[in-house]
Structure 1
Amino acid sequence: MAPKDRSAGRNEHDDPAVLIRRVLAERAVFPLYQPIVDLATGNVVAVEALARGPAGSPLEFPDALFAAAVRAGVMPPLDQLCATRAMEIARDSGEEVPPLLFFNAEPAALNQPFTPELMAVVLSERPYRAVLEFTERALADHPAALLDIAAAVQRTDGALALDDVGADPLSLAFLPLIEPEVIKLDMHLLRDPYAPGTVATAATVGAHAERTGAVVLAEGIETEQDAVNARALGARWGQGWLFGRPGPLGAIAGRPMDRHARLRSPRPDLHLPEGTPFSMAAVRNHSRTGDQPMIDGLTGYLLSMAAEAGSHAVVLGAYPDPAAGRAWLPRLASLAGGVAFTGVVGPGPIAAAPHPVRMAVAPAGGPSAAETVLAVVGPHTAAALCVRPAPDGGVDFVLTHEPDLVYAIARMLMRRLDTAAGRPAQPVTGWADPATVAR
């Protein structure tokens, strides 16, 4: 789409509602690429693709471009187009491309059948590994869909990056559940490196990176002092105007490049654990037999843990008995204002809206239908209680504090949370299965 002669004044073709349709029809997205460097060597290790509309048009910049797409109801196809163009241009540019390409995409857009063009570039041979970026808001808004997408990305050798970590308590709360390959520190941390909140965030991120092998990347580096602060806060890689502004891929031609920069190997099964919470917990731990007062006491213990974890805690649960819901929901509601996220799955209807707890209606039947589960997750907190009826009329239960097991149980519960009151999210398999391409 050619830039318009703006001297002639605005006409109906300058209307964003008209222009956004032309952008889609003509595939008129022109991404720019910003370098990401190794802070120790200055070598380029990656680029991040940043969407741009037609130069000189009212939709050139991303805020206007995506706002027009939202108003026109075409956000998913536009977001898929941006991802497609970012990967196509890097694949076909003829320039030397770093080994990693970061790009952003909304979960709502990827939780759709992929266009043929996006499927083609995803499945094509490329000189880089694709890294999907998302924010903690995306995980809170689309928990089931985003875990499906994360698994799909991993199945095709892709990687994940969690953006803006430290800007919101949700980012640290969800960090153990998504386990991204890259953790991007929000730029405000560099501006105030000695603040108690900054130090605590950096320490928590560093501990997670040490445990999982994730790479810490600092955003918004504009000065040499920012770069010093980034390294002191534990960042290994950096991004910002000090190292280069967004531009065409040719802008990094001739710069030292680390062709051997690598991220952790893909883990296709991490985000979609199989089985049920109780069956998974019982494999690793001996189950115990108890009664309802014992379960009530352990439930109180876990909820106390959540209250102590505070704004970085995620509390997830599932129950088959409406009586449990009547007992749980007031307590969860009282926690909701002090923790990062609370969500439960139970038989419906479970509460009148609005309610501070994210709720989903449990489907009838299935291997998990009889299990009661409560999980508490935070940067330094992990506990899960899994309960099922015993043949003798009592209950069998497993209480575990093993972090990886608790995270897997929490992911099972997150996938059962819907994003629209009772409608389960559709799994995304497009990254690996051509049958899901949109027709």
Structure 2
Amino acid sequence: MRCFCPGPLAGLLLASLFLVAPAASAAGIAGRPTLVEAVDAAWRIAVEARHADSESRRAEAGMRVARSFAADSPALAWSREEGDWYGGARAGSATETEIGLSWPLWMPGQRRAAVDASRADAAWASANLAQAQLEVAARVRETAWDIAARQAELVAAQSAVDALVELAGVVERRVAFGDLATSDLLASRAGVLDAEMARDDALRRLEAARARWTVLTGYEETVEAGEMEAEARIDSRSLLSRAGTPPSLVAAEASVRRAEGERAAVRRSLGAPPELTLGAKEESDGPAATGDRSLVLALRIPLGLGARRELAQATAQSALDVAQAELSLARSKHAADLAAARSDFEITGRQLEGARQRAELLSRRQRMMERAFAAGEIPLAELLLAHRDSRAASADLARRKAERGLAHTSLLHAIGAFP
């Protein structure tokens, strides 16, 4: 009788997983990145990077406008008027030509308020950029930990398959010698199939996580598990003692200063800026007459009255009220998130230690049951249950490791720590 063993497809999948690198995607970057390199790569292709870059360019343009000589773009005006007249021996015409250049002017204190508002806007754009980078770093860390958990789960599942295949071979030989019933052989083969399906499910989840990683970072391969574990071993108390103001609060505070600057600029403004016009005018009473030329100097000052100015001021005050409320909410949320992250980090640490001890105990129990089965002291059904319990404990240990890593990632995100 031939020995029961896994099919060629499963062997091919495992060979591709453990002996060679993952298959390269069309857009993937070859090589194994560090965590910093993965975060940088993810930032380069992230939508948030495009948005943050556009906000920075807009803030820089606003600063250039605030520092310019004119409050708005200058304008060039030209006009010509002609009128027919009749008198004397012949008919003629009068002409009037005028050309002028208008400069929109800053009101007293308006330019300083505009510069201050532009600086606050630039600080807000910079704070938002840092917050967006931290969000991308969190996604990279979370995906890396997910892959590490899936890899550990797959290794445990493959170990279970190997153990059950070996057991099925032993059962098959003992059935051939008449020591065991054929039903035991069928049960052992069913156990192998069950373990192989669990292994394939783990492989499918791992490949899905790797695909998400490639989309996120552009890399084919993931960060070394040892680097992620080394980051997770950093003392949490040391992290908290060195932590400053997280980017989320910096961005919320910058949003308040930005709204305050906008309100101050609106209060200094009358709506449309005053205009100074400098020009020249030439008037002629007829074809033979000598034209009169004059210098034109005009000043146009809007009164800044009415509902339009009130609407602008109300809009600016509303934006400030919203920014202040968001800052208060951000502070409360940060305190709650930090407390939850610290608690989660401590609890997952205890759970990980418990899962490690449980997996070790059930693994020892499985080895004891195997010896008892070989001595004929227990039936095959009990051994198969021991294998199933040990496999479940190994999968739970892999999951607990990932939860511990994700809890550490949440703590790093709460205090605003970059890789």
TM-score interval (norm. to shorter): under 0.3
Structure showing the higher strand proportion among its residues: 1
Structure showing the higher helix proportion among its residues: 2
User: Of the two structures, which has the highest relative contact order with CA contacts closer than 8 Å and spacing of 6 or more?
Assistant: 2
